[in-house]
Amino acid sequence: MTYWDLTTIYPSFESDTYQNDLTKLKTLMAELETLELTDDFTKSATAYIEKANAVLKLLFPLNIYAHLTFSVDSSNQAAIKYSDTLGMLQAQLAAPAVKFQKWVASFDADTIENVTDNLLVEHKFFMHELQQNAAYLLSEKEEVLLSKLRQVGANAWGDLMAKLTGNLQAEIELDGKTETLTLTMLRNLASHKDSAVRKRAYQTELNAYSKIEESIAAALNGIKGDVNMTSKMRGFDSPLAEAVHNSRLDLATLDAMLSAMTDKLPVFRKYLKRKAKLLGHKNGLPFYDLFAPINESDMTYSYDEAKQFVLDNFATFSEELKNSAQKAFDDNWVDVEPRKGKRGGAFCAPIIGRRQSRVMLNFTGSFDGVTTMAHELGHAYHNWQLFDEHMLLADYPLPLAETASIFCETIVTNAAIKKADKNEAIYILEKSIMNSTQVIVDIMSRFIFEKTVFDNRQQGPLSVDMLKQAMLDAQLQTYGDGLDKDFMHPYMWACKSHYYSAYNNYYNYPYAFGLLFALGLYAEYQNGRPNFVADYNQLLKNTTRMNVKDVAASMGIDVTKKDFWLASLGIIEQQIEQFIELTN
């Protein structure tokens, strides 16, 4: 078993270093809360920025240590206790942050633009953004009231939805026995080898949702109604405009991307129809077979083989990329195999102030495990480029969060296809295309659905029938004849929890952006663009200091132009053509 080493963050919760840092954090926070902001812009801004950076440099490792401990040991009581404590401390930071924001907004943009002090120059974008966003803040009284009402309103609706779907169970026949499964377990059967099981799981799932549909529809109406109202009060044209603004994007860029995606939908339908044919269906792919395996792969990797494969292929890109992964392995930043009490999935956590990352995997030796490893080490490489960044500037927006990860995943996937035999190539390609279809076609259906709900909610609550119809319409618009019309999924709005957060509106298009932006960069790399590696590293560094359009422009890419997006989609199109040829 290969565990990660967390002792290089803190030896333990009880250790003097952890406890001393916690005490020091509370002292610094008290100082930040009482910090006086005067007419002297340079002096006050410097004082706040220095103090806030110092607070975050302590808060972040203390918090991540608890979070990481919990993620591999869910019964660790100290981790639960300190996560809660630090979560509350983090919430306390909102007050001095809003005070500073309003103070910055009381100066004009030129004051920020003309700063000469080095620390302030580096925080120019940060301050400009605070100033611009201040225009959308309500009065202090309203903000406090709103956040308290969210607790008992929209957040409570979200909790209700989570409880209803979390507790919902359904009976299904498996291997001749009747079993009682949760919704998550039922959904996991979507990739089962036996098509009869996949179909039964899908029907059982739809039946189960019908039992809670009225309650979760009420929750959805409550949350979307709240967001429509508050978004308007803040001065945004729509919840979409607000979401786009918050992800440092602009509507022209979003339109260019969506328009290119719409143009290429027929390409994805071609893949869906081929997959349907391979599985013996005549009228397109039934929803329950979207994740069906079409062949088996006997590609297995030991952890050392996977490591070596990733390192060798990272080296084809750059020595630095390879070294960043080597460092993660050498310093035990990676937690490898599944074990009891460890959560599922995979993630990468940055510990910027300490020049470290941690990567959690659930590696079992499959090929997917290798691409996941490359993906998460790609995130670690993004962190690596930000190791010297100020804590206030260590965050990048969602649309750019998957750039390095998908780029690295693409390097490794392409290398694997090159050395694969025909059966393996089909397996790898299909996995990759299946994933892209989710990120392009399904994400687009979710985007259309969410927009329909927000628009219609202005006139009143949507009934269960209206929600189901809106979802089917969205699937028809995007999947088209690629899906079998008799087997679509009218309850996808009950399945994705992001619709039920008043804070994560349109938590869909940033993922399409992430995939296509990374693929677009990869296309430039493949085309032999000179100086690519250095420019790419700089681009990753820029992700925390510019809006999305400018980050892309720093590499000469115009994301407001449809051509860029069409070129990215062209890479997936090539894969689909190759898949169709190989399965002929």
Residue number, 306 or 408, with CB nearest to Zn ion: 408
Beta bridge partners of 358: 349
Q: Which stretch binds Zn ion (CB under 5 A): 143-151, 255-263, 405-413, 473-481?
A: 405-413
Q: How far apart are CA 415 and CA 169, in angstroms?
A: 42
Residue number, 396 or 579, with CB nearest to Zn ion: 396
Find out whether 450 and 442 touch, Cβ atoms under 8 Å: no
Residues ≥6 apart with Cβ < 8 Å to 39: none
Residue number, 49 or 572, with CB nearest to Zn ion: 572
Q: Which stretch binds Zn ion (CB under 5 A): 31-39, 213-221, 402-410, 489-497?
A: 402-410
Name the CA radius of gyration of the chain, rounded.
Answer: 25
The least distance separating Zn ion from the CB of residue 217, rounded to whole angstroms, comes to: 31
The least distance separating Zn ion from the CB of residue 320, rounded to whole angstroms, comes to: 20
The least distance separating Zn ion from the CB of residue 348, rounded to whole angstroms, comes to: 7
Q: Which of 230, 403, 405, 437 touches Zn ion by CB under 5 A?
A: 405
Residue number, 189 or 394, with CB nearest to Zn ion: 394
The least distance separating Zn ion from the CB of residue 102, rounded to whole angstroms, comes to: 35
* DSSP one-letter string for 130-182: HHHHHTT---HHHHHHHHHHHHHTHHHHHHHHHHHHHH-EEEEEETTEEEEEE
The least distance separating Zn ion from the CB of residue 22, rounded to whole angstroms, comes to: 30
Tokens representing residue 448 in the block: 């259309």
Residue number, 221 or 405, with CB nearest to Zn ion: 405
The least distance separating Zn ion from the CB of residue 373, rounded to whole angstroms, comes to: 12
Residue number, 247 or 405, with CB nearest to Zn ion: 405
The least distance separating Zn ion from the CB of residue 405, rounded to whole angstroms, comes to: 4
Angle at Cα 130 formed by Cα 518 and Cα 512, nearest 5°?
Answer: 20
Q: Which stretch binds Zn ion (CB under 5 A): 54-62, 283-291, 399-407, 517-525?
A: 399-407
* Site track for Zn ion across 116-135, x = CB under 5 A: --------------------
Residue number, 238 or 544, with CB nearest to Zn ion: 544
Q: How far apart are CA 234 and CA 502, in angstroms?
A: 14
Residues ≥6 apart with Cβ < 8 Å to 336: 1, 2, 3, 303, 361, 363
Q: How far apart are CA 23 and CA 330, in angstroms?
A: 32
Q: Which stretch binds Zn ion (CB under 5 A): 303-311, 365-373, 401-409, 439-447?
A: 401-409
Q: Is the dihedral of CA 86, 90, 93, 94 positive or negative?
A: negative
CA-to-CA dists, residue 516 to 23, 245, 301, 361, 506, angstroms:
45, 20, 29, 24, 17
Entry field: residues in the chain: 584
Of the candidates 279, 267, 226, the one whose C-alpha atom is nearest the C-alpha of residue 436 is: 267
Q: How far apart are CA 159 and CA 153, in angstroms?
A: 10
Residue number, 464 or 515, with CB nearest to Zn ion: 515
Q: Which stretch binds Zn ion (CB under 5 A): 211-219, 397-405, 499-507, 536-544?
A: 397-405
413 touches Zn ion (CB under 5 A): no
Interface contacts to Zn ion, rule CB under 5 A: 405
